[in-house]
Structure 1
Amino acid sequence: MSTDPWETLRAATRARVGLGRAGDGLSTPENLRLAAAHAQARDAVHAPLDADAVVAALGERAGPVVHSRVADRTEYLQRPDLGRRLADDHGLERGDHDLAVVIADGLSARAVHDHAVAVVDALLPRLEGWSVAPVVVAQQARVALGDDIAAALGARMVLVLIGERPGMSSPDSLGAYLTFDPRPGRLDSERNCVSNIRPPDGLTYDGAAEVLAALMTESFRLGLSGVGLKDTGTALPPVAG
């Protein structure tokens, strides 16, 4: 049996606790682990989205690939405003849909590659009777780009699945942002977010789909999203064993 009092806590979290020290600093192994985590986070921010692979994984559910008004990744990081607006040559066709689903690279294409299609797979069967537009894949995208996309598609609600800002232990975290009556100019306070979708260390696909389906159903009933819409569920996601 270990005599390290921090071992139990370290086994229960990915946070860096009880690291020990060498003199006034971290030990060499911990410094190397920290540097590796930092490199993973930087790689996640700069890695490009493989839109063709996402479209292939979506199969017949896939719609077009669109772009924001950003020219390249450098501009994406420097000009968030351009990442929120849809390029003029988007090719989207207006229809009559309850829901538009947008898969967006955001700040972690890795999160999209690993988790986005699985969330779609778990969610859509829970939306029986909904009219869902073909899933749009968006490059160099911020969350608010979904408002432009949904408005172009004629959708009453948009769900944006997007790579979240990488942390030092979570370079692959996917976020889901829900907005009722999406249109350009919507505020962040008018959205709901389900965050940290990344099994086995975060929320499971089924867990995220259950919360999202409940929020979306209530959003339609109330005719709103954001701070006025609350997740009233009491079930917590299972603890990874």
Structure 2
Amino acid sequence: MSDDLTRDPFARLRQATRARIGLGRSGAGLPTPALASFRLDAARARDAVHAPLDVAALQAELSEFETLALRSAAADRSIYLRRPDLGRKLAEEDRAGLAKGDYDLAFVICDGLSSAAVAAHAGATLRAAHEALPDLSIAPVAIVIQGRVAVGDEVGQGLGARMVAVLIGERPGLTVADSLGIYLTYNPRSGCPDSDRNCLSNIHLSGGQTPAQAASKLAWLVREARRLGLTGTKLKEEAPTLAASETTAIPKE
């Protein structure tokens, strides 16, 4: 047994997880490096929740797409955090301003609980998903401030999309503050239950799914949803895992 493992029996476990284990102690508290690391990660998590999404910068990044800047019924961040119900609905004037079309799929980007996740990964994920679904008619990309997952139902319904994919910042933790999630819903409509959605989570570059891997799985789910006419608990995600180095392009059906 190495000297390191003899001195620190948790060393081997730390190689297999990012969890905080065997931190030790200094007197009645944590050692200074462990405490400083905890405080830094906690600050990153708070910033991810409270920092506003730079919509103009995101629109510039997505300049090849037509984008719509929308707001939920939550007027500001404080209300959004205290009133989840308002984050699930569009502001009245934005709902009324949606132009109904005829689309297979609508993408909705919401800041959710991590604007950092959206800023870091939404652009790459959206671009990869578009490339993986070349034969679908796709609506303008909606960017919703103070939005939660269900706000995508109103957007999809208002745009006349048969499916909606919501890219949203996930609740940050003390290991990852920029994790993105995708929620796919067939036949989006107001009052749609969460059991009618499929979720892809942990999209980030710190040991999670890469944007390319998530886009490949989303494309598989979209095609199965079209074939079966549903999403949710009756649609099991059984897509093959895509290696990070592989392309996300999928042949047309």
Interval containing the TM-score (normalised by the shorter chain): over 0.9
Give, in angstroms, the shift of residue 21 of structure 1.
2.1
Q: Deviation of residue 104 (structure 1)?
A: 0.7
Question: Which residue of the other structure, out of 19, 22, 27, is the alignment partner of 2:26?
Answer: 22
Decide which of 48, 63, 69 is 2:67's aligned counterpart.
63
| Structure 1 unaligned spans of 5+ | none
**Map of 1:114-129 to 2, 5 A cutoff?**
114-129=120-135
Distance in 2, matches of 1:76 and 1:57, equals 26
User: Mean Cα displacement is larger for which, 208-217 or 23-32?
Assistant: 23-32
* Percent identical: 53
Tell me which residue corresponds to 2:193.
Answer: 187
Partner Cα separation in structure 2 for residue 194 and residue 157 of structure 1 = 15
Please, which runs of 5 or more residues in structure 2 have no aligned partner?
245-253
Q: Is the 8 A contact 1:69 1:82 kept in 2?
A: yes
Paired residue type of 2:92? D
Residue of structure 2 in register with 1:224 after alignment: 230
Cα distance in 2, alignment partners of residues 151 and 131 from structure 1: 15
d(CA) in 2 for partners of 1:237 and 1:182?
31
95, 99, 116: which is aligned to 2:101? Answer: 95
SS at match of 2:15: helix
Stretches of 4+ moved more than 4 A in 1? none
CA RMSD of superposed structures (Å):
1.5
Q: Distance in 2 between matches of 1:138 and 1:155?
A: 17
Letter of the aligned partner of 2:178 in structure 1?
D
**Which residue in 2 is equivalent to 1:104?**
110
For residues 14 and 58 of structure 2, the distance between their equivalents in structure 1, rounded to whole angstroms, comes to 35
Give me the whole-angstrom Cα distance separating, in 2, the residues matched to 1:32 and 1:217: 47
Please give the alpha-carbon distance, in whole angstroms, between the structure 2 residues aligned to 1:33 and 1:215.
38
Give the alignment's TM-score, normalised by structure 1: 0.94
- How does the TM-score come out when normalised to structure 2? 0.90
- C-alpha distance in 1, partners of 2:61/2:193? 32
Q: Name the counterpart of 1:38.
A: 42
Task: State the Cα distance separating 1:28 from its structure 2 match.
Answer: 2.1
Q: CA deviation at 1:155?
A: 0.2
Amino acid at match of 1:81: D
Match of 1:50 among 22, 37, 54: 54
